Amino acid sequence: MEAFALYLFKSVIWLSGFTLAFFLFLRNERFFLLNRIYLLAGILTSLLFPFISVHYTVLLPSVLSIQTGEVTMNGMPDAGSFNIRQLSLLMLALYISGALIVAFLLLKQTRSVLRIIKKAEITPLHPVKLIRTAEYTSSFSFFSYVFVNPSVTDIETKEIVNHELAHLRQKHWFDLVLVELLCMLQWFNPLVWIYVRFVRQNHEYLADEVALQRTASPAIYRATLLNQIVGSPVVNLANSFNYSTNKKRFNMMKNIIRSPYRKMKILLILPFFAIVLYSFAKPEYRYEATGENSGNNTISELQMKEVKGIVVQRDGKPLGGTIITLRGTTIGTVADDKGYFKLHDLPEDGLLVVSYVGFKTKVVKPVFTSDMKIEMARDTVKYYGAPAPPPPPPPPLNVAEPKMDAKTPPPPPANVKIRSANGKAPLIVVDGTIKNIDIDEIAPESIESVVVMKDKSATNKYGEKGKDGVIEITIKKVPAVEATEATEATEATIKEDVTIAKDQSPVTQENEKAPFVVVESYPEFPGGNKAMNAWISQNMIYPAEAAKNKISGKVLVSFTVNSAGKVTGSKVIKSVSPLFDAEAIRLISSMPDWKPALQDGKPVDVQIMVPVEFKLK
């Protein structure tokens, strides 16, 4: 559908250019044969040239900085959302309907003429056949048949046959067939109907030129033409003798000598050719090799080739969404729903890294002579639910640990199920709102205080709902300064989606140093940011309760990519809901290894932020 729409658009552009050039420079010229060649070339160009595309080379560095679109988590589909596919189908149905109407009218006209031919008396006048019929008031030719009204005199009939014989010998029917096909293809384009008029008018100029050379009396020929001024064209595939009987047609019959150099006007179409070919040219990307010894060489000089194939599980089922990358670069792709993938511009000595969550990462040598079949084995490591959040940073030296209020018990550890004496879960109240969640779904580091109520104190405050106990949880409030910084960071990540964190990260336990903020090269997800978006979308689990209550929003997650490429220290900078926070932390923490950042040629830790948007569609 998209390919045909693009073809149609290019075809309209080509024909429009030829129409405007003819109207501006050639329509008043008396080089009728040259004009016919030009008009035929315009038809053929608009039909064939959309298949032709010019390519040009664009050199890119082999390592690109991170610039991606926003990572959006797609939830349940919204029945009322706008469906672009339905609009496309509607537009296609409208276009086909218009083309069928044009074809139907043409067939109807042709059938009417064929019906007259079948029942009429035919007078052979080699190589044409003369038919006198009162069905039509105007005279015209339909291929080798010439139709004349019985009221036309023999002298006028001779001049008409002389004119129509020129149409037959010059095979003008071929132009008419092509232009009618073009009308069916571009019926919506008003310029195509103007182009049809130019073609028919030029046919009459050509026939007049020949008829005036063969007639015994040019005055009688012109008088016959004036007598035929009444009437209208009968069928689109016919050449009407009285077509365009105006002053201009009679002026074109005058034998006026013009400079042959005026024919050079036809070359004015060449700049239009260059503009259109350049406008629709396709870029071919080549990646420059980087490094101290790379010089001016490019990867395109290293026999770049194409590899394609399919990724499957051991049982033969396709593994859609698998990430395939060229090792050591950000060149990569994502397998489609059926497991198929294709990569261009690969060196012969390169290696492919194939990865998918829950399966063992595989490194294979590309096969260029045939389609590859990559079989992935499941990883023996199993995951149960969301991983426990990272421990809080150790307190600074010489600072006394804060004392816990006797009335405020510490927050419960993650993954602990709290039940009342009868085995039922207590009522959870977060910031004064009753929540239908387990307490282990709330990140411990986000809790400011917890109050446990039971028996009469619980029922007095919450009625029958508090009979199994109540746990009141107060979430920490973000200070105004921190909130402002988080908002600024969010706005920055909306523009680049992955950026350096503005806040200072806690001291890491690995190297006792804070992560870098500005480095020579930043961390890169395997396969680039398109692959990262696909990986997150594929592995996201939209919380059932959030989907049920139609909750959506954006969670800003900060994490560190250490010198080994591991994702560590994931934490929520801007929260929407504890449900989303837990899922965002799980997603970021389970990411595959990144390509680490480099500073002075050495891998270093860098803290970055990613906004994860939970959006129902």
Confidence of residue 518 (pLDDT cuts 50, 70, 90): low
Is the pLDDT confidence value at 303 over 60?
Answer: no
**b/e per residue, 362-399, with b = 16+ CB within 10 A?**
beeebeeeeebebbbeeeeeeeeebeebeeeeeeeeee
Number of domains present in the structure of the chain: 4
Residues 459 and 340 reside in one and the same domain:
no
Confidence of residue 423 (pLDDT cuts 50, 70, 90): low
Query: Which range is least confidently modeled, 7-16, 34-43, 371-380?
Result: 371-380
Tokens 């005036």 correspond to 212
Rounded distance, CA 575 to CA 573, Å? 7
CA distances from 460 to 266, 451, 464, 576 (A): 95, 15, 9, 31
Domain boundary pick from 434, 461, 477:
477
Residues 360 and 434 reside in one and the same domain:
no
Q: What is the pLDDT of residues 107-130, one digit of tens each?
A: 998 999 999 999 888 888 888 899
Q: What is the pLDDT of residues 550-582, one digit of tens each?
A: 888 888 888 888 989 899 988 888 888 888 888
Residues 367 and 437 reside in one and the same domain:
no
Residues 40 and 169 reside in one and the same domain:
yes
- In sequence order, what E strands does 383-534 have? 427-430, 433-435, 447-453, 470-475, 499-500
- In sequence order, what E strands does 62-151 have? 71-74, 122-125, 128-132, 140-142, 145-148
Give the CATH number, domain containing residue 559.
3.30.2420.10
Residue 254: count of CB within 10 angstroms of its CB: 7
Residues 521 and 461 reside in one and the same domain:
no
In a domain? residue 286: no
Q: What percent of the chain has pLDDT over 90?
A: 17
In a domain? residue 293: no
Assess contact for 514 and 313: CB atoms under 8 A.
no
Q: What is the pLDDT of residues 383-395, one digit of tens each?
A: 334 444 444 554 4
Residues 259 and 111 reside in one and the same domain:
yes
- For the chain, the average pLDDT equals 76
Q: What is the pLDDT of residues 450-497, one digit of tens each?
A: 777 777 777 777 787 878 788 888 887 644 333 334 444 434 433 344
Domain boundary pick from 334, 356, 376:
376
Residues 535 and 500 reside in one and the same domain:
yes
Rounded distance, CA 532 to CA 36, Å? 57
Phi, psi of 146 (to 5 degrees): -115, 120
Residues 539 and 598 reside in one and the same domain:
yes
- In sequence order, what E strands does 258-339 have? 282-288, 305-313, 323-326, 332-334
DSSP string, 563-606: TTS-EEEEEEEE-S-HHHHHHHHHHHHTPPPPBPEEETTEEE-E
In a domain? residue 179: yes
Is the pLDDT confidence value at 43 over 90?
Answer: yes
pTM score of the predicted model = 0.47
Residues 568 and 446 reside in one and the same domain:
no
Assess contact for 274 and 46: CB atoms under 8 A.
no
Confidence of residue 99 (pLDDT cuts 50, 70, 90): very high
More confident residue, 414 or 112: 112
Query: Which range is least confidently modeled, 57-66, 287-296, 505-514, 556-565?
Result: 505-514
Residues 68 and 209 reside in one and the same domain:
yes
Is the pLDDT confidence value at 234 over 70?
Answer: no
In a domain? residue 136: no
Give the CATH number, domain containing residue 337.
2.60.40.1120
In a domain? residue 154: no
Rounded distance, CA 611 to CA 490, Å? 7
User: What was the pLDDT predicted at 515?
Assistant: 63
Phi, psi of 186 (to 5 degrees): -120, 40
* Residue 133 burial (10 A CB sphere; 0-12, 13-18, 19+): middle
Residue 535: count of CB within 10 angstroms of its CB: 25
What is the distance of C-alpha 129 from the center of its chain? 56
User: What was the pLDDT predicted at 388?
Assistant: 44
In a domain? residue 489: yes
Confidence of residue 506 (pLDDT cuts 50, 70, 90): very low
Residues 547 and 435 reside in one and the same domain:
no
Q: Which amino acid is present at 120?
A: A
Pair of tokens at residue 89: 């189908």
User: What was the pLDDT predicted at 150?
Assistant: 87
User: What was the pLDDT predicted at 67?
Assistant: 36
Q: Of 99-113, 209-223, 229-243, 292-306, which one has max mean pLDDT?
A: 99-113
Domain boundary pick from 376, 410, 438:
376
Pair of tokens at residue 320: 């859609």
Confidence of residue 607 (pLDDT cuts 50, 70, 90): confident
In a domain? residue 574: yes
Rounded distance, CA 286 to CA 296, Å? 13
User: What was the pLDDT predicted at 260?
Assistant: 76
Assess contact for 137 and 230: CB atoms under 8 A.
yes
More confident residue, 546 or 24: 24
In a domain? residue 33: yes
Q: What is the pLDDT of residues 592-601, one digit of tens each?
A: 998 888 877 7
Confidence of residue 59 (pLDDT cuts 50, 70, 90): low
Residues spanned by the domain of 439: 388-477
Contacts of 548 (CB under 8 A, 6+ apart): none
Residues 325 and 471 reside in one and the same domain:
no
Angle, CA of 504, 506 and 512, to the nearest 5°: 115
Q: What is the pLDDT of residues 131-172, one digit of tens each?
A: 898 888 888 888 889 998 888 888 888 888 888 899 989 999
Is the pLDDT confidence value at 504 over 50?
Answer: no
